[in-house]
Amino acid sequence: MQSFRIARIMGIPIELHFTFLLLLILVYYFWGLDGFLLYIVLFASVVLHELSHSYVAKKYGVNIEKILLLPIGGMAMMDKIPKEGEFKIAIAGPLVSIFLGVLLYGLSQFIHFPILDIEGESYPLITTVGTLNIMLGVFNLLPAFPMDGGRILRALLTPRLGYLKATKIASTLGQYFSFILLVLGIISLNIILILIALFIYYGASQEYHALITQNIFDKIKAKDIMSPEIILVSPENTVNDVVYLMFKHRYMGYPVVERDKLIGTVSFNDISVVSDDILVKDIMKSPEVVSPSDTLNDIIHKLANSERVYVVERDKLKGIISKTDVLRVLKILGLKNNQMVEEYIDN
């Protein structure tokens, strides 16, 4: 298990990556209890930062899977962000961090305790956390992926340049910025700075390539990859009938159709635990359905919960798409060849 849940806020699971725990142990070993406390409070601020993104994202109907805490920061793992909401979602985190930082810094003028002792240096907790929150907010406003500023820049450039080109600009800036951080980290022998540089480079690169892949998937429709040859099963067929079909056709799942209408699906898993005389209608499951115009992105999402999806138009079954069909499409596209991918999009 790479992460485990520590809380649930606004219905969103908060999880710690196991490397976060390792870093906590190192912080306690080198900086003592006060350093440990500062690190915990700082990451509580990171959680607030990510919750701010998540709160606004939920207003746009975005599903938030979880917030994952890593040694170098937090990550709100969410579904695709709508283009019209990206600016507000992206800017929410830095604004909350800066507001919290200014608030704490103001309070520190009246409240001077507790004082932390880290490696012989004194750090007023409220002042330190306030300053770090301001730094967190400002750092995330840098106009480069994967920082929030990169998403803000993309949202501002998209109306004039288009989503793909705006993403490429923000991604390229992120890669340049990561190179600068890497050089600074090497010169100063700062391992944390080097790790952050590598994280930024990876995040910036992945953002653009993920968008390219998504654009390709949006161009491929269910009608383009479905198998039109359909072997039907009646709800009145028995398990023994289905076993015969499996031996004959080598397919492990079949649509259940009644009066030309898809009403269910039956697979090897359904029949493997029941007797041969059981009727299909008593064990069939609800089918995952897509329309002929649904994209490969939609299909992949549906296949996360099923071995196959059925293409239906006006209640009539048109075809079947299995995980094998999708894997075959990905192989044909050769998604590892970036030049071919970009040419595909341009066309």
Catalytic center residues = 50
* Separation in Å, CA 281 to CA 106, 107, 260, 274, 285: 68, 68, 15, 13, 9
Which long-range contacts (C-beta less than 8 Å, at least 24 apart) are formed by 22-26? 22/71, 23/71
Which two three-digit tokens encode residue 334?
């050769």
Which two three-digit tokens encode residue 212?
């390219």
CA–CA dist 96, 56 (Å, integer): 12
Could you give the 3-state DSSP secondary structure of residue 4?
A: strand
Q: What is the DSSP string of 257-271?
A: EETTEEEEEEEHHHH
Question: Taking phi first (over 0 means left), then psi (-120 to 50 degrees means alpha), and beta for anything else, what does residue 315 get?
Answer: left
Please state, as a whole number, how many other Cβ atoms lie within 10 Å of the Cβ of residue 280: 22
Strands (DSSP E) contained in the chain are: 3-9, 12-17, 64-70, 73-78, 115-118, 121-124, 253-258, 261-267, 289-290, 308-313, 316-322
